[in-house]
Amino acid sequence: MRVREVLAVLIGLVVVGGVVYGGWWWLSDTLDPAEDEAQQAQPGEDPEATVAAYLDAWEAGDTTAMATLVRGETPEDFADRHRQLLAGLEAGSLVLEAGEVASEVDGRASVPVAVEVRFEDLAEPIGWDTTIQLSRERGSWGVDWNLTTIHPELRPTWRFGRVSEDVDREPILAADDTPLVGTGNLVTFGFEPTAVDDAEAIVRAFASAIPGSEAAAERELGRDDLVEGWFYEIVTVTETRADEASPRLRQAGGILRRTSTARAPYDTGFARHIVGAIEEATAEQLEGDDSLERGDRIPQFGLELVFDDQMQGSERILLGLVEGDTGPLQVELGASQADPSAPVETTIDIAVQRAVEDAIELAELPAAVVVVDTDGAIRGSASRPLGGFNRAFSGRYPPGSTFKVITAEALLAEGAGTGTQVECPAETTVGGLRVPNAGNRSLGTTTLEEAFAISCNTTFATLGGALEAERLTAAAERFGFGVEPLVPLTAFGGSFPEPTDLAERGAAAFGQARVETSPLHLASVAAATIDGSWDQPYLLRGDGPGETIPLATGTADQLRTMMRTVVTDGTGVPAAVDGEEVRGKTGSAQTTDGVTHAWFIGTWEDLGFAVLVEDGGAGGEVAGPIAARLVERLVELVRDGGDPALPAGDGPPPDEDPALEPGTDGAPDEAEDIDG
């Protein structure tokens, strides 16, 4: 064989051998993982492998395997400490993640570890960061264990645990998030018998400083079983109201005050029918609920009752390190609330509500005042008496002549105008129904605007009766009659049953017959004339705006003109306020039992309002002045930015500081002398 052939054979053998060797190497690499794993670092060979094995054992709860990786002897409670972590927190599992080796110098190393604790009964896990320290001896790495390996703040007497705590009841918020009611200070005024020199002077002082409290003062001071050294309560008010009242009460001498932290309203009685109250359970409630005990305070009405569960939620579970087995929480690692609590967010405007509260104080009979804006948001509402039902929302009343706003809109939609000539006799008959004017007043031939301003029943009964029933019903529907308000409390809108005959059409046209409405709804009727659309009233920010219904085209401008004339030259003159463009409509609504309710509905700037005085008689004379007071306070508080924190009044004497240091809550002898 020639040399060239020999070389070719040798080269071929080398190539084949290389291919075979390479194939064997690849196969051995892929088919023999055990040999490859054997080449990886084992626990003890380096910090990473040691920590990885330690964390795997920790996650698995294998404290025996963990102990083999710890340098030296483990403490007697080593296993118990790790088991107690899960047991104390009532946790389901651990997830541990090691970071990169932070340092490896002179046979020492540290590895950061993220600890995550997961639960079966809680939605969110908790976690913390710790550090595992390691050292090398005789070429082998081990964990230098101590308590801080589990948690950096763990101490010998501490354990992992859960602590339950009651949460503060969430507040009910005004539109700007000011609490209408929430946790705050309440001040109770009272007396200690031996400090009283002049009981009559004290009664007079309470009558002046906190009107309405004088009856309680007279009753308590007149008791024949007074005990020396005991604090006798007379009235409890907000801290703001107490500071305002203190200078007047101070003048009587012998009056004490003490302060407590409790569920407190923005001001005494402020928006009470909306907010509601938390008060002692009644005898009837105690009898019907075995879980209640005498003296328990529970929500009684209003938003406090409707949203009780939302504001209270469930107890809060704090997770962390506690002292001993049942001691106080030392380090909070996380918290959970199965039923989270949340505040109630209303549309109430603090300044508007203050104006409403101040205005309704003029009413000497049961009354209601409501203010809404052009989007339907309820900005203020109050009813009197405070202990009565919510007349503003749930009262059902005939609207009387305030309904002439709706009838006028129907007439304007049919082509009439403010200057249309109409007849206003002192009395007329419509479909057999006798209809008189108040005081038998007669205008003869006049304009629709003048008849509206003077509130001629005869004009509107005649014109309304001449309308087709469907036309009058459609006008009522444009003003939201038949649409309930978006209010989570008991509330009524307006009801306008379609008249069945001419007589009923005539009576309905001036708000009698079967027509019913509430002060809340009539406030929205007034507001509809501002921008030409009726908006469904709503109380909670998340509920509105609601339904919007446009009025007939072109009617709003003419209605505003007519309502302005009511205040400048008509039955609503008592509602006039110098320099302010107040518009409105009066009403004197007769019930089937002969009672006449006084109404005034109106607008100021972009607010619509309604005033009702039950059994008040003439709307202009009785409800009109309350409306004027409302507008005056709206000017002061809303437009001019006055302080709504305190009600209208003379305030404390200018040379006296109304602020007193609050007394301590507790024993009667700890009440503070109001004289300081």
Domain parsing of the chain, residue ranges: 47-154, 172-339+665-669, 362-639
Pairing of strands 179-191, 172-173: antiparallel
pLDDT of residue 240 exceeding 90: no
- Asked whether residue 662 carries a pLDDT value surpassing 80, the answer given is no
What pLDDT is recorded for position 2? 47
User: For 315-352, what is each residue's pLDDT tens digit?
Assistant: 888 999 999 877 889 999 998 887 888 999 999 999 99
pLDDT tens-digit series, residues 477-516: 999 999 999 999 999 999 999 999 999 999 999 999 999 9
Q: State which of 259-268, 335-344, 400-409 shows the largest mean pLDDT.
A: 400-409
- Residues paired with residue 94 on neighbouring β-strands, in sequence order: 117
Per the model's pLDDT, the better-predicted residue between 278 and 584 turns out to be 584
14: confidence class by pLDDT, cuts 50, 70, 90: very low
Q: Do residues 286 and 56 touch, judged by C-beta distance below 8 A?
A: no
Give the C-alpha separation, 353 to 377, whole Å. 13
Is 60 exceeded by the pLDDT of residue 150? yes
Which of 34-48, 76-90, 511-525, 560-574 has the lowest average pLDDT? 34-48
Q: Are strands 344-345 and 172-173 parallel, antiparallel or unpaired?
A: parallel
- In this predicted structure, the answer to whether residue 653 has a pLDDT above a threshold of 70 is no
**How many whole angstroms from its chain centre is CA 90?**
34
Measured distance CA(494)–CA(545) in Å, rounded: 19
Neighbours of 174 (CB within 10 A): 23
Measured CA angle at 228 (ends 223, 229), to 5 deg: 120
Name the pLDDT band for 671 (thresholds 50, 70, 90): low
Specify whether the backbone of 432 is left (phi greater than 0), alpha (psi in -120 to 50) or beta: left
pLDDT tops 80 at residue 104: no
Q: Which amino acid is at 411?
A: L
The span from the CA of 61 to the CA of 82, in Å, is 8
pLDDT at 609: 98
Residue 12 above 90 pLDDT?
no
> How many other C-beta atoms lie within 10 A of the C-beta of residue 436?
14
- Give the pTM: 0.76
Give the model's pLDDT for residue 446. 94
pLDDT at 654: 35
CATH level 2 (architecture), domain 47-154: Roll (3.10)
Outline where DSSP puts E strands in 374-457.
378-384, 421-424, 427-430, 433-436, 444-447
Q: Are 380 and 608 in contact (CB under 8 A)?
A: no
pLDDT at site 652? 39
Q: Calculate mean pLDDT across residues 604-609.
A: 97
CA distance 239 to 662: 8
Query: Would you place residue 284 in the very low, low, confident or very high pLDDT band (cuts 50, 70, 90)?
Result: confident
Answer yes or no: is pLDDT of 675 > 70: no
Q: For the CA atoms of 628, 631, 636, 642, what is the dihedral angle to 10 degrees?
A: 120
Q: What percent of the chain has pLDDT over 70?
A: 90
Whether the pLDDT of residue 597 is over 80: the answer is yes
Structure tokens at 537: 């009233």
Average pLDDT, the chain: 87
Give the rounded percent of residues in the chain with a pLDDT score beyond 90.
Answer: 63
Return all residues near 600 (Cβ < 8 A) that are at least 6 apart. Answer: 402, 572, 575, 584, 585, 586, 587, 610, 611, 619, 620, 623, 624, 626, 627
The answer to whether the beta carbons of residues 50 and 86 sit under 8 Å apart is no
- For position 668, what pLDDT does the model report? 43
pLDDT exceeds cutoff 80 at 116:
yes
The Cα 215–Cα 203 span in angstroms is: 8
Chosen CATH of 362-639 out of 3.40.710.10, 3.90.79.10, 3.30.750.24, 3.20.20.140: 3.40.710.10
Same fold, 47-154 and 362-639: no
What pLDDT was estimated at residue 670? 52
Q: What is the mean pLDDT of residues 70-84?
A: 93
Distance CA 314, CA 323 (A): 25
Distance CA 558, CA 573 (A): 19
Confidence of residue 39 (pLDDT cuts 50, 70, 90): low
Is residue 55 within 8 Å of 96, Cβ to Cβ?
yes
Label residue 649 by pLDDT band (50, 70, 90).
low
Q: Mean pLDDT over residues 368-397, rounded?
A: 96
